[in-house]
Amino acid sequence: MKRISIILAFSFILSIGISQTEKYWSGGSETIFGFATIDDDGNSSGSVMRFAPVLNLQGMYNIDLGKNFGFFTGLGLRNVGYIYDNYKTYNDPNDPEDITYVKKKFRTYNLGVPVGLKLGKLDKLFIYGGYEVEYAFNYKEKTFEGGQKTKFVEWFTDRAEPFQHGFLVGIQLPYGSNIKFKYYLSSFHNQDYLDKNTGQKPYENLNTNIFYFSLNYNLFKNANSYKSKTGNKDFH
């Protein structure tokens, strides 16, 4: 009898959870303020903030198990990179002392899939956290030296680690505003990459982990929540 009571109670709680489950898509853009921790063969200075307002798009699939707890996954297109003021180039491969320091800007376009959870008042204020795996499919590198700028772009290159991953945490504010922090556990560059034209490994011993703060809007906002019964917009 006791076992039957427990089963019935569990079934009742489960049925309530299922009946309160809400599934929907949300999404928006992301404005990124990027930084990096750099270990360049012992040198850790030279990182500069990178402002990346485009092209960052996110679509989230939300599974809310009531008003205070939920899960999310989705798909994102993200502009990830960093600026390095003290990148060293070897002018003569046979002379390790013949070095020039230049400014570099690196970036990749990534496709990402996040998974995470939300906790709080899901229609107003809540915190969230999760993990995201990204695939880098487009690479750009800019060099600034002596007032001159050069750049090149490569698709599906080996210069950067193809799969990048990290954790994210954030807070969803009322009326749709959102602040997020993300840290990449993976190194940005492929340190074993060999440039066949020069015979050098340009990113050897260059271990870089990117992290950023970003501003988002309507990242988790259900589009249907804007519509009242009369069809007018509802922003509360």
More confident residue, 4 or 75: 75
Give residue-wise pLDDT tens across range 163-197. Answer: 999 999 999 998 889 999 999 999 999 999 999 88
Q: Is the CB of residue 25 less than 8 Å from the CB of residue 53?
A: no
Query: Is pLDDT above 50 for 5?
Result: yes
Predicted structure pTM score: 0.83
How would you write the chain as a 3-class SS string? CHHHHHHHHHHHHHHHHHHCEEEEEEEEEEEEEEEEEEEECCECCCEECEEECCCCEEEEEEEEECCCEEEEEEEEEEEEEEEEEEEEEECCCCCCCCEEEEEEEEEEEEEEEEEEEEEECCCCCEEEEEEEEEEEEEEEEEEEECCEEEEEEEECCCCECCEEEEEEEEEECHHHEEEEEEEECCCCECCCCCECCCCECCCCCEEEEEEEEEEEECCCCCHHHHECCCCCECCC
Query: Is pLDDT above 80 for 19?
Result: no
Give residue-wise pLDDT tens across range 53-64. Answer: 999 999 999 999
- Residues ≥6 apart with Cβ < 8 Å to 52: 31, 32, 33, 34, 79, 80, 81, 107
CA atoms within 13 A on the CB side of 194: 2
* Structure-token pair, residue 134: 């990204």
Task: Give the percent of the chain with pLDDT over 70.
Answer: 83
Residue 225: the pLDDT is 55
* Structure-token pair, residue 8: 């019935």
Residue 146: the pLDDT is 83
Tokens 């491969």 found at = 93
The total number of residues written for the chain in this structure: 236
Task: Give the percent of the chain with pLDDT over 90.
Answer: 67
Which has the closest alpha carbon to 73: 111, 112, 110?
Answer: 112
Give residue-wise pLDDT tens across range 67-118. Answer: 999 999 999 999 999 999 989 887 666 666 767 889 999 999 999 999 999 9
CA atoms within 13 A on the CB side of 128: 34
